[in-house]
Structure 1
Amino acid sequence: MKQYCIALWMYYLRQVRIIKPTQKVQKSKKKVCAYARVSTGTEKQGESLENQIQYYESLIKNNPAYEFVGVFADKGITGTTEDRPEFQRMLKLCRKGKIDLIITKSISRLARNTTIVLETVRELKNIGIEVRFEKENINTLSGDGELMLSVLSSFAQEESKNVSDNIKWRIKKEFERGIYHLNTNKFLGYDKDEFGTLIINQEEAEIVKNMFECYVSGMSCTEIARKLTSKGIKTVTGLDKWNDGTIYNMLKNEKYKGDALLQKTYVPNHIRKKAVENKGEVDQYYLKEDHPPIVTEEMWEAVQEKMLENKYSRGITNDPKYNEKYPYKGLLFCSKCGAPLRRRVWNSKTPFKKYVWQCSNYVYIKTRTCTGTKIDERDLEKVNINGPTIIKEELRDGKKYYSYTSKN
């Protein structure tokens, strides 16, 4: 039996021959990229981003096990949104199998929104892509990676909220002190001096004045836009064509009469960071005589009044207060030039203020083509005016007399 076993063993030894490999198996390199982001476009943040790009490029290229794919960097974009060009470009490459590993500085650099972080990481994990966070020392393909990530992402989101709250508090305090920041590159008519104070740009101010005068004289925003375009006057952003929406917003802007309304918009959600119109949800601050005006307060008020009149005539508004405040609107006309009379407030800052109706050509048009007609509203209340009426003003023996003629 012993001899049989030895013989069988010798037989198998003769049948098996081991052939050793002649070449070493080459391990495929990991396709590696990095993601970097800074939330503002300031010079300091720009330098920070450049440093991050150089660091990651060197880190990946100097590792023999890595194949450098690139560094994807978003500048001046918040981490609470997915709408980031480089971030989305990186994800597209991941879905095409072009990337095996993503390296990033921290969870907050990838995203400050917990939902975005977890959804992105889970999608990448399902297609076998690892994300490595250096600061937190987390590898998303490890067993406890997602648990740690979920906890730390919540901290990152809460940190973002705290930062947002602190910024809102600081802005609120600045508003209370009358401090605000205005980008004059997108504000026609004004520049800033070396101290950051608003100063009038005389050339641009003439364009603004002309807009107000044209509107008061009866031109619509669309007609004003066409006029400026036909004259070759460029918009504040350098465009050749004006649109009526731009004109409308400029005519509504209280800054042109030297005042400033602060916090017209606010950001209700620190995640989306989308500004919405403030309709009373948060405090507003009104600064009177904040900077040099381009148009008079009377001119500005006349434009607002004209806008309200146009809305009323087109049925856009049916506010009964309109009729109460302007009972003679569209009914009174100057006998000298035929222009409509506008309601004005005299001595508005004294206890003796009164309301008068005055020729709009005389008040608002700088060429002063008319010597004007003016009548006290109390005098009008003594007359039964029920249709378009021409007001004739005469001076006899030092006293003013008025006659009323139906325009029809």
Structure 2
Amino acid sequence: MESGTTSKRPELQRLIADANVRKFDCILAKELSRLARNGRLSYEIRDLALNKNIHIITLDNAINTLEGNTHMFGLYAWMYEQEPQRISERVKHTFKIKAQHGQFKGSVPPLGYEVRDGKLYVRNDATPDIVRRIFRDYLSGKGHDRIARELTQEGIPTPSQIAGKNNASDRWGGSTVRLILTNPHYVGDLVQCRSTTKSVTVKDRLYHHPKDYIVVRNTHEPIISRKDFELVQQMIVQRKRIRPQAEVHLFTNTLFCADCGRGMHYKKHVRGYLCGSYNRYAPSFARIIWFGKKS
């Protein structure tokens, strides 16, 4: 069931589509909150109905455009948006208290762990070894993308697959490897409240300053030693380099791979356009479109 704060509800989208072609003359709802608990969305529905000469009637008699009863629309739209906002604030406060007491509050535990009674426990399977291997490979000098490519080539399941997510990719990405390498949970600490949604109506994340994180040390069994973890963080900083702004080439975002459908990227070292997927996962079988004479 979708929240009334979002427009991403199939039945609401069907109502809006039908209203646009005026398949009905009146929208009947128990109360305005049944249509939306989002002020902006409430006004969009009201304006759509007004433009299409469709009436809005709520059974609590708060809104009845048929009788011209619309002067309280703004007040009710504001009131119904405040209710989920207050609930959200209470939930965030509860999460904060649990985090301060060393309880894991995430929806999906880090790779290699499982959650029991709010605590992280090392899984009794191969997943902790995947984490250890990633750290070991990075310490040996391998980069994020190379580690990801090798894990993919060996058929190692991705964190999304292990978590049972829908449409989980079977390909590792360098960004996924980097998230594992920088996750302090692997040394036995809980570091939480690093980000939050901006509001119930704006789902973008607001990222907190590290000084505002809630950190509780030694809450669970580590998979990686502190010494190795800190060494990896130093290596990540040392390997960072300022990349020049990418040059936009003629066929950027225009050419697509005939095999996988992914975009083609211009690569100076091959003097041609290279499939992004092949470049990352199987460079030896890369599809290349050459421009000019190959040297």
TM-score, normalised to structure 1, is 0.54
Residue in 2 that maps onto 1:149:
73
Residue in 2 that maps onto 1:200:
122
Residue 108 of structure 1 aligns with an amino acid whose one-letter code is S
Shift of 1:94: 1.0
Q: Where do 1:241-256 residues align within 5 Å?
A: 241-256=171-186
Contact 1:132 1:138 (8 Å CA) reproduced: yes
Say which structure, 1 or 2, has more relative contact order (CA 8 Å, 6+ apart).
2
Q: Where do 1:1-400 residues align within 5 Å?
A: 75-76=1-2, 78-144=3-69, 146-184=70-108, 187-193=110-116, 195-201=117-123, 202-238=125-161, 239-279=169-209, 283-311=212-240, 314-315=241-242
CA RMSD after TM alignment: 2.1
Residue 182 of structure 1 aligns with an amino acid whose one-letter code is G
Residue 109 of structure 1 aligns with an amino acid whose one-letter code is R
Shift of 1:121: 1.4
CA distance in 2, matches of 1:257, 1:107: 49
CA distance in 2, matches of 1:110, 1:284: 37
CA distance in 1, matches of 2:94, 2:170: 39
CA distance in 2, matches of 1:192, 1:170: 18
Residue 33 of structure 2 aligns with an amino acid whose one-letter code is S
CA distance in 2, matches of 1:296, 1:99: 65
Shift of 1:161: 2.8
Gaps of 5+ in 2: 162-168, 244-295
Render the CA deviation track for 1:61-97: whole Å, top value 9, x for unaligned. Answer: xxxxxxxxxxxxxx23x33333434322220111112
Shift of 1:136: 4.7
Bigger radius of gyration: 1
Residue 80 of structure 2 aligns with an amino acid whose one-letter code is A
Render the CA deviation track for 1:350-387: whole Å, top value 9, x for unaligned. Answer: xxxxxxxxxxxxxxxxxxxxxxxxxxxxxxxxxxxxxx
Gaps of 5+ in 1: 1-74, 317-408
Q: Aligned residues, how many? A: 235
CA distance in 1, matches of 2:170, 2:101: 39
Change (3 A) 1:135 1:283: farther
Question: What is the percent sequence identity of the aligned residues?
Answer: 29
Residue 248 of structure 1 aligns with an amino acid whose one-letter code is R
Contact 1:106 1:134 (8 Å CA) reproduced: yes
CA distance in 1, matches of 2:131, 2:207: 24
Residue 309 of structure 1 aligns with an amino acid whose one-letter code is Q
CA distance in 1, matches of 2:239, 2:140: 13
CA distance in 2, matches of 1:98, 1:137: 24
Contact 1:125 1:141 (8 Å CA) reproduced: no
Contact 2:103 2:119 (8 Å CA) reproduced: no
Contact 1:80 1:272 (8 Å CA) reproduced: no
CA distance in 2, matches of 1:215, 1:250: 11
CA distance in 2, matches of 1:199, 1:173: 21
CA distance in 2, matches of 1:116, 1:315: 42
2:136 match: secondary structure: helix
Change (3 A) 1:159 1:251: same
CA distance in 1, matches of 2:61, 2:212: 40
2:67 match: secondary structure: coil
Shift of 1:181: 1.5
TM-score, normalised to structure 2, is 0.73
CA distance in 2, matches of 1:142, 1:118: 19
CA distance in 1, matches of 2:202, 2:17: 23
Change (3 A) 1:136 1:298: farther
Shift of 1:162: 2.3
Bigger Cα displacement from structure 2, 224-233 vs 110-119: 110-119
Change (3 A) 1:297 1:170: same
CA distance in 2, matches of 1:83, 1:278: 27
Change (3 A) 1:249 1:89: same
Render the CA deviation track for 1:129-172: whole Å, top value 9, x for unaligned. Answer: 2222224553233212x112222222212323322332232223
